[in-house]
C-alpha cells in the first residue's frame, strides 16, 4: 500500500492506493485548498499565515496516513515551494508536521511523474501523446510514446498567479481575459514547435484544472468535449457573470471559481499556441505517478538506476573501474556496520559516477563530477539525494574539510571512508579479498590489511599515510594494522 502527498501551489492532496493486478486502486483521497502560491508576499516569501495553514493541513494528513499500514510514503512539493525564498527554511517544520521527508521536486521531475500516472492509466503502449498539466504555480508539457517520455518542460505560469494578475479584485471582463491568454501564450511560444499535433495522436489534460473545465463545459451544455469552441463558450459565460463571486455553475465548486478563470486562460492559450484540436481530461497525474514510482522501486525497476546508467554512457565512464569501486565500497561499508541502509544505493551510484568529471578535466575531476550530480536533471532522484551523492563524490578524494560538517552523521562518515578506501585500493591495483581485510569505524577508524600487500604494492603505504593525515585534519583517528 502506497501514499502520495502532493503539496501543490493551489491545493494539498493525498492519495492512498494499493497495487491491484495491473492497476493502482485509490483507497483514500483528501484535498484541502491551501492556496500556498497566493500566500507569497511581495518579496517571494511565504507569509506566517500561509505557513500556519499549511502546517495545520499537514498535521491532518499525518492523522490520515497513520490510519493505514503503508509500505511506502512519498511527499512532494511543487512550484510554490520551489519559488518561495523561505521554502527551504520552512521545510523542517513542515516535515515535522507530516512526519515524513518532503521533497521539493523540479518542474521536469514533476512532469515525469505526471506522465507516469497518465501512461499507466491509458495503457496504450504505442500511442504518441501530449500531456498538459496546468497547476497552481506552473504548467507542464510532456511528450511521449506509450510509457516512454521523449520531452518534458515546465513553465512558470499557473492558475493562481494568472488569476491574481489579470482578474484583479475578482473582476472578469473581455480585455482581462484576452490579456491573460496572451500572457500565457508568451510563456509557450518559444517552446511550441515540438508540441504541435503532427508529433502526437492524443492530447490529455491531467490536472484538476482540465477536469474541472471539462465538467463545467458538459454540465452547462457548452459542448461535448474540450476544444477551442467549447473553451470560448465557457470564457464568454464567465465574462457574462462579470465577477468571480457571481460565478455559480454546475460542475464548479465555489472554492475553485477564483482560480479556474486563470486556468481557463492558460488552457485557451495552449490550445491556440499549439493548435490543439481536442483535450481529453483524465483522472490521473502527479499523485498516481508518485505511487507508480514507489511501486516500481519496490519491484527493483528503479528509474534512478536508469538515470545513473544513462550518465555512465553519456560521460564515457570507464565501467570496469567504476563497477569495481562500487562493489568494493559497498562491501567495505557493510564491514563498518552502519545503523541503516539509507546510504547503500546512493553510495553505489556515487561510486559508479565518481569519474564522470574526467570528461571536463582530469584535474579536479571529483569537483566537476560533484557539480554535475548536484545540478543535473536526473529522473527519479530528489534534490536531497543528488546533494548527498554530490557530497560523497567530492569527498572521495582530497581533503575532508570540505565535508567536515556532514561527517558528524555517522553512517555518512562510514560511507565516505569505505568509498575512499575502495578508490585507493583500485588505484593501488589491489584485488581485494574481503577475508583478508577488516574495516571498523566506531570512535575511530581501524583498518587491518595483509602485510604482504605493502611489499607488493609500493605506493600503498604512502597513500594510507596520506589518508590518515586527511582524517586527522577533521578530528578522526585512523589506525592501520597489518597481519598475515
Provide the pLDDT for residue 432: 77
In degrees, rounded to 5, the angle at the alpha carbon of residue 341 between the alpha carbons of residues 352 and 60 is 120
- Residue whose grid cell is 469552441: 229
Q: How far apart are CA 72 and CA 79, in angstroms?
A: 24
Q: In CATH, what class is 2-104?
A: alpha beta
Tell me the pLDDT of the chain averaged across its residues.
Answer: 92
CA dihedral 451, 455, 456, 462 (to 10 degrees): 100
Pairing of strands 102-104, 72-77: parallel
- Name the maximum alpha-carbon separation found in the chain: 90
Q: What's the Cα-to-Cα distance from 388 to each of 345, 346, 356, rounded to whole Å?
A: 11, 8, 16
Provide the pLDDT for residue 230: 97
Q: What is the pLDDT of residues 211-227, one digit of tens each?
A: 999 999 999 999 999 99
Q: How far apart are CA 393 and CA 315, in angstroms?
A: 15
- Residue whose grid cell is 503539496: 7
Q: Where in the chain are the domains?
A: 2-104, 108-283, 302-482
Provide the pLDDT for residue 427: 86
Provide the pLDDT for residue 461: 87
* The 3-state secondary structure of 33-63, one letter per residue: CCCCHHHECCCCCECHHHHHHHHHHHHHHHH
> Residue 410: which of 329, 468, 346, 342 has the closest Cα?
342
> Residue 282: which of 221, 192, 209, 198 has the closest Cα?
209
Provide the pLDDT for residue 314: 93
Provide the pLDDT for residue 85: 93
Q: What is the mean pLDDT of residues 51-73?
A: 95
Residue 416 has pLDDT above 90, yes or no: yes
Provide the pLDDT for residue 431: 80
Residue 27 has pLDDT above 80, yes or no: yes
Q: How far apart are CA 464 and CA 470, in angstroms?
A: 10
Q: Strand order of the sheet with strand 445-450? A: 438-441, 445-450, 478-483
Q: What is the mean pLDDT of residues 64-79?
A: 94
Residue 300 has pLDDT above 80, yes or no: no
Judge if 2-104 and 302-482 fold alike in CATH terms. no
Q: What is the mean pLDDT of residues 5-28?
A: 91
Provide the pLDDT for residue 454: 79
Residue 25 has pLDDT above 80, yes or no: yes
Going by pLDDT thresholds of 50, 70 and 90, the confidence category of residue 111 is very high
Q: Is 216 exposed, middle or buried (0-12, 13-18, 19+ CB in 10 A)?
A: buried
Q: How far apart are CA 149 and CA 142, in angstroms?
A: 7
Helices (H), 315-382: 319-335, 344-353, 365-375
Which CATH number fits the domain 302-482, given the four candidates 1.20.210.10, 1.20.1440.230, 3.10.20.30, 1.10.3210.10?
A: 1.10.3210.10
Which CATH number fits the domain 108-283, given the four candidates 3.40.50.1000, 3.10.20.30, 3.30.420.150, 3.40.50.300?
A: 3.30.420.150
Provide the pLDDT for residue 266: 97
Provide the pLDDT for residue 106: 86
Helices (H) then strands (E): counts for the chain: 18, 13
- Is residue 407 within 8 Å of residue 400, measured between CB atoms? yes
Quote the percentage of the chain above a pLDDT of 70: 100
Q: What is the mean pLDDT of residues 284-307?
A: 87
Provide the pLDDT for residue 129: 96
- Please give the distance of CA 168 from its chain centroid, rounded to a whole number: 33
Q: What is the pLDDT of residues 241-270, one digit of tens each?
A: 999 999 989 999 877 888 999 999 999 999
Q: What is the pLDDT of residues 354-400, one digit of tens each?
A: 999 999 998 899 999 999 999 988 888 888 889 999 999 999 999 99
Provide the 10 A C-beta neighbour count for residue 221: 9
Q: Which residues partner with 103 through β-bridges?
A: 76
3-class DSSP state for residue 124?
Answer: coil
C-alpha cell at 30: 483528501
> Residue 260: which of 163, 174, 338, 332 has the closest Cα?
163
Neighbouring residues of 342: CB distance < 8 A, sequence distance ≥ 6: 411
Using the CB atoms, write b or e for 466-479: b if 16+ within 10 Å. ebbebbeebebebe
Q: What is the pLDDT of residues 226-239, one digit of tens each?
A: 999 999 999 999 99
Q: Phi and psi for 36 in degrees, rounded to 5?
A: -60, -40
3-class DSSP state for residue 202?
Answer: strand
Residue 410 has pLDDT above 90, yes or no: yes
* The 3-state secondary structure of 373-418, one letter per residue: HHHCCCCCCCHHHHHHHHHHHHHCCCCCHHHCCHHHCHHHHHHHHH
Q: What is the pLDDT of residues 422-465, one digit of tens each?
A: 999 898 888 877 778 899 998 899 999 888 887 788 888 888 99
Amino acid at each position: 500500500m502506497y501514499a502520495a502527498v502532493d503539496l501543490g501551489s493551489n491545493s494539498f492532496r493525498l492519495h492512498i492506493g494499493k497495487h491491484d493486478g495491473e492497476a493502482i486502486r485509490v483507497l483514500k483521497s483528501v484535498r484541502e485548498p491551501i492556496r500556498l502560491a497566493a500566500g507569497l508576499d511581495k518579496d517571494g516569501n511565504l507569509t506566517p499565515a500561509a505557513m500556519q495553514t499549511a502546517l495545520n493541513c499537514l498535521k491532518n494528513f499525518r492523522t490520515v496516513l497513520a490510519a493505514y499500514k503503508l509500505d511506502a510514503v512519498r511527499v512532494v512539493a511543487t512550484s510554490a515551494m520551489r519559488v518561495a525564498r523561505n521554502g527551504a527554511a520552512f521545510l523542517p517544520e513542515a516535515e515535522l508536521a507530516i512526519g515524513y521527508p518532503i521533497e521539493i521536486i523540479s518542474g521536469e521531475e514533476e512532469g515525469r511523474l505526471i506522465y507516469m500516472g497518465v501512461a499507466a492509466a491509458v495503457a496504450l503502449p504505442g500511442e504518441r501523446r501530449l500531456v498538459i498539466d496546468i497547476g497552481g504555480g506552473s504548467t507542464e508539457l510532456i511528450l511521449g510514446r506509450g510509457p516512454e517520455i521523449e520531452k518534458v518542460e515546465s513553465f512558470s505560469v499557473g492558475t493562481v498567479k494568472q488569476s491574481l494578475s489579470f482578474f484583479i479584485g475578482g473582476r472578469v471582463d473581455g480585455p482581462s481575459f484576452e490579456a491573460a491568454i496572451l500572457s500565457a501564450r508568451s510563456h509557450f511560444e518559444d517552446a511550441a514547435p515540438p508540441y504541435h499535433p503532427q508529433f502526437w495522436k492524443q492530447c490529455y489534460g491531467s490536472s484538476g484544472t482540465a477536469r474541472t473545465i471539462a465538467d463545467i463545459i458538459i454540465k452547462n451544455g457548452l459542448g461535448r468535449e474540450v476544444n477551442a469552441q467549447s473553451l470560448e463558450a465557457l470564457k464568454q459565460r464567465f465574462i457574462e457573470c462579470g465577477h468571480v463571486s457571481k460565478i455559480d455553475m454546475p460542475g464548479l465548486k465555489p472554492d475553485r471559481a477564483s482560480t479556474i478563470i486563470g486556468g481557463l486562460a492558460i488552457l485557451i492559450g495552449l490550445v491556440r499556441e499549439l493548435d490543439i484540436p481536442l483535450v481529453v481530461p483524465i483522472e490521473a497525474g502527479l499523485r498516481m505517478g508518485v505511487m507508480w514510482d514507489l511501486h516500481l522501486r519496490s519491484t527493483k525497476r528503479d528509474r534512478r538506476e536508469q538515470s545513473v546508467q544513462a550518465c555512465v554512457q553519456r560521460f564515457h565512464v570507464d565501467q570496469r573501474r567504476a563497477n569495481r569501486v562500487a562493489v568494493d565500497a559497498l562491501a567495505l561499508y557493510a564491514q563498518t556496520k552502519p545503523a541503516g541502509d539509507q546510504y547503500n544505493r546512493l553510495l553505489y551510484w556515487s561510486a559508479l559516477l565518481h569519474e564522470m568529471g574526467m570528461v571536463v578535466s582530469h584535474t579536479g575531476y571529483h569537483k566537476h563530477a560533484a557539480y554535475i550530480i548536484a545540478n543535473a536533471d536526473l529522473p527519479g532522484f530528489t534534490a536531497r539525494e543528488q546533494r548527498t551523492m554530490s557530497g560523497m563524490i567530492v569527498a572521495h578524494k582530497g581533503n575532508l574539510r570540505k565535508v567536515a560538517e556532514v561527517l558528524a552523521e555517522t553512517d555518512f562518515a562510514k560511507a565516505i571512508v569505505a568509498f575512499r578506501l575502495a578508490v585507493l585500493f583500485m588505484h593501488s591495483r589491489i584485488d581485494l579479498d574481503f577475508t583478508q581485510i577488516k574495516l571498523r569505524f566506531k570512535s575511530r577508524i581501524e583498518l587491518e590489511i595483509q602485510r604482504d600487500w605493502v611489499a607488493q604494492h609500493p605506493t600503498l603505504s604512502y597513500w594510507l599515510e596520506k589518508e590518515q593525515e586527511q582524517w586527522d585534519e577533521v578530528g578522526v583517528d585512523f589506525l592501520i594494522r597489518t597481519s598475515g
